[in-house]
């Protein structure tokens, strides 16, 4: 006879604390890239140390919001860093797109930095835009098909001191993509699966 599965109290405590934080695309991407690193960043953050790339990216995001003369070739929408949070299948989902317009035109855009190249295929398949479109659909009742979506990538490199810098601040790679509601719902089904995998991982490692 099989014994019933019993979740350890320590695991329950860690899962509850983790679930108190809304699920972002960054969490999903981190989990799919490196589960151990994800655990340190989102379940046991005291063990996590940030990277120079993340620090640089955060600084760029802040400058993009506050300084209209910073990378002016990247358009600013009606709303910058507009925070959205909805409940999906019992999961609190949060997203903060870099740029969003919904009045005169419907444009969703995200700004990327980094040494790893973005391509049209990568922009088309990133779950980040799909999650943002889901949040917009739930919060504003606007269909994904109505939006033109953009990824703006500014390539970076390390200088002689190992500091992160732009390869060429004026050189922005632009990728335009479109999505349907069916695309978005397929991705959100994947999100549910990943969420359950996250809980199982915490149980096994708490």
User: Mind giving me the DSSP string for 56-107?
Assistant: HHHHHHHHHHH-TTSSTTS---SEES--EEEEETTEEEEE--SEEE-SSS-E
Residues in the chain: 206
> Residue 194 and residue 28: Cα distance in Å, rounded?
7
pLDDT at 49: 67
Q: Which two tokens stand for residue 112?
A: 């990327």
Tell me how far the alpha carbon of residue 180 is from its chain's centroid.
19
CA 15 → CA 8, 25, 28, 93, distances in Å?
Answer: 11, 18, 16, 16
What's the rounded Cα separation, in Å, for the pair 99 and 65? 9
Q: DSSP letter for 158, please.
A: E
Q: Which tens digits make up the pLDDT trace of 84-134?
A: 999 999 999 999 999 999 998 999 999 999 999 999 999 999 999 999 999
Strands 173-177 and 99-101 come out as unpaired
Residue 195 is inside which H or E element, if any?
Answer: helix 181-205
Q: Residue 156: beta bridge partners?
A: 166
- pTM for the model stands at 0.91
pLDDT digit string, tens, across residues 184-202:
999 999 999 999 999 999 9
pLDDT band at 48; cut points 50, 70, 90: low
In this predicted structure, what is the pLDDT of residue 68? 92
* Res. 206: pLDDT tops 50: yes
pLDDT of residue 2 exceeding 50, the answer is no
d(CA 103, CA 158): 40
| Partners of 87 in beta bridges | 92
> How much is the average pLDDT of 136-148?
98
Going from N- to C-terminal start, the domains of the chain cover 49-194
The backbone torsions φ and ψ at residue 9, rounded to the nearest 5 degrees and listed phi first, read -55, -40
Q: Classify each residue of 52-67 as buried b or exposed e, where b means 16 or more C-beta atoms within 10 Å of its C-beta.
A: eeeebbeebbeebeee
């Amino acid at each position: 006879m099989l014994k019933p599965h019993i979740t350890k109290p320590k695991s329950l405590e860690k899962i509850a604390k983790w679930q108190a934080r809304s699920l972002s695309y960054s969490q999903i991407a981190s989990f799919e890239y490196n589960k151990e690193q994800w655990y340190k960043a989102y379940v046991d953050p005291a063990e996590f140390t940030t990277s120079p790339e993340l620090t640089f990216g955060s600084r760029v995001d802040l400058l993009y919001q506050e300084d209209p003369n910073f990378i002016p070739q990247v358009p600013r929408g009606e709303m910058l860093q507009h925070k959205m949070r909805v409940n999906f299948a019992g999961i609190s989902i949060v997203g903060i797109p870099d740029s969003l317009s919904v009045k005169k035109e419907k444009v969703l855009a995200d700004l990327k930095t980094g040494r790893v190249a973005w391509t049209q295929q990568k922009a088309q398949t990133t779950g980040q835009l799909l999650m943002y479109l889901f949040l917009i659909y739930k919060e504003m009742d606007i269909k994904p098909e109505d939006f033109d979506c953009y990824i703006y990538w500014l390539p970076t490199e390390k200088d002689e001191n190992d500091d992160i810098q732009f390869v060429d601040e004026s050189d922005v790679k632009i990728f335009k993509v479109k999505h349907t509601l069916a695309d978005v719902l397929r991705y959100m089904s994947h999100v549910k699966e990943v969420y359950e995998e996250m809980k199982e991982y915490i149980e096994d490692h708490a």
